[in-house]
Amino acid sequence: MSSEKYVLGMVGLGVMGRSLLLNMADHGFKVSGLDKDPNKVDALEKEANGNAKGYSSAKEFIDNLQKPRAVMMLVPAGPAVDAVIAEIAPLLDEGDLLIDGGNSYYTDTDRRFLELKAKGLHFFGMGVSGGEEGARKGPSMMPGGDPKAYEVVRPIFEAIAAKVNGDPCVTYIGPGSAGNFVKMVHNGIEYGIMQLIAETYEIMQKGLGLSGEQMYQVFKEWNEGRLKSFLIEITRDIFAFKDADSGTLLLDLIKDEARSKGTGKWTSQIAMDLQLPIPTIDSSVEMRDLSKYKDIRTQAAAIYRAGDMKLDTDQAQFIKSLEEALFFSMMVTYSQGMHMLAQASKEHSYELQMDQIALIWRGGCIIRSEFLEDIYQAYKKNKTLPHLLLDSGIKQKVDGTIAGMRLVVSSCIAKGIAIPAYATTLSYFDVLRSERMPSNLIQAQRDYFGAHTYERIDAEGLFHSQWNPNA
């Protein structure tokens, strides 16, 4: 390589960091990487075929970056990010840029943003979605920070991002922690859809008695229609994957305890702080937690034995209704996530462009789907749309799937098939379309036992009643 300096340096040459660097090198950018593990440094240079340089020395790494320097970190969220900043920041000059590409908690990003701003450095929290394949071939990226500083790296990120209809799946998200916040909600939506697909598998297996091959065929057909998405696609492939030793479906040999890295939990926690309901996502987090209590579930299964779960229905017709139910539930899950982003934008002054977020999620990321085009069009038409389900185009799709949703939920509940995400999604929708909720009774109860007062629909002000005249 020539003596010309590098346009971007990556700290952390694990699978994601190395894959992103190789992607950049493939697009003609001269890049470098830093890692304390010499094997990872060697692996980068070997795979890059001379198009990227690896370093073990932080000073040498920084000295060989062109100014303003752009340094990206792909290390585990938490203390590791602070440790890298503590090592790298003193080597940087005013105007240089540090980018955190991990799933950091958004308040950590706000803190780092302010601390580094005081030192004259630009800090970006950037969500990166797509996994190893996305990083290597084209991810979806969500950078948040100073918009002028973003211009330093914008040509690189637009070049390496996934493309849909020629549009790069990356855009400036907003100030401070906006990028990390949007990625967190992306992951929350991901949790919700994964749980819905898992429950669909449960229905097909226990309710319809379908084999892996039959489920493969159903998901193959679904992925050619309106459910077309990355998660449906990989689920299709899972239903066809056989264990090399036994020749049986590998899925049947996997323990039913789901793990997580925390972003789904953060989404639920922060939604509660915002006083905004996202029950489908909440349910998905809760079910991963419940899955870990395998011993208790095994004991309960022995005590409360399940009856016949086979659905008394025409199989083909029910699968049609199940497709409607899954599409309905996916629409509502996306709607909950977008509603949370809109509310957080007001709360944190992110000034999020909802149509642009939908645009960059159409490709590269884990929740990419055909339906995101509908979301993009809805927010493009009305940038201040308060809730996605209020869009007329989305309403037509809801109207066309609600009957299947009600049939699936009622049939499964009657047979004892666990569908918590489906059930809570339907209840959320039914409450959302209720002009008058029974919350007036809760207000009356609160006033009765605690004199918390209530409001009336026929008069202004706050009121309190002596509910028990004998007290």
Whether 183 sits among the annotated catalytic residues: the reply is yes
pLDDT of residue 117: 94
Q: What is the pLDDT of residues 381-419, one digit of tens each?
A: 999 999 999 999 999 999 999 999 999 999 999 999 999
pLDDT of residue 419: 98
Q: What is the pLDDT of residues 298-333, one digit of tens each?
A: 999 999 998 899 999 999 999 999 999 999 999 999
pLDDT band at 1 (very low <50, low <70, confident <90, very high): very low
Q: What is the pLDDT of residues 170-203, one digit of tens each?
A: 999 999 999 999 999 999 999 999 999 999 999 9
Is the pTM higher than 0.95?
Answer: no
pLDDT of residue 261: 75
Q: What's the per-residue H, E or C state across the chain?
A: CCCCCECEEEECCCHHHHHHHHHHHHCCCCEEEECCCHHHHHHHHHHHCCCEEEECCHHHHHHCECCCCEEEECCCCCHHHHHHHHHHHHHCCCCCEEEECCCCCHHHHHHHHHHHHCCCCEEEEEEEECHHHHHHHCCEEEEECCHHHHHHHHHHHHHHCCEECCEECECCCECCCHHHHHHHHHHHHHHHHHHHHHHHHHHHHHHCCCCHHHHHHHHHHHCCCCCCEHHHHHHHHHCCCECCCCCCEHHHHCCCCCCCCCHHHHHHHHHHHCCCCCHHHHHHHHHHHHHCCHHHHHHHHHHCCCCCCCCCCCHHHHHHHHHHHHHHHHHHHHHHHHHHHHHHHHHHCCCCCHHHHHHHHCCCCCCCECHHHHHHHHHHHCCCCCCHHHCHHHHHHHHCCHHHHHHHHHHHHHHCCCCHHHHHHHHHHHHHCCCCCCHHHHHHHHHHHHCCCECCCCCCCCECCCCCCCC
The one catalytic residue in 190, 286, 323, 324 is: 190
Average pLDDT on 359-372 reads: 95
Whether 190 sits among the annotated catalytic residues: the reply is yes
Average pLDDT, the chain: 94
Q: Is the pLDDT of residue 448 over 90?
A: yes
Q: What is the pLDDT of residues 86-136, one digit of tens each?
A: 999 999 999 999 999 988 999 999 999 999 999 999 999 999 998 888 889
The one catalytic residue in 30, 40, 53, 183 is: 183
Average pLDDT on 369-391 reads: 97
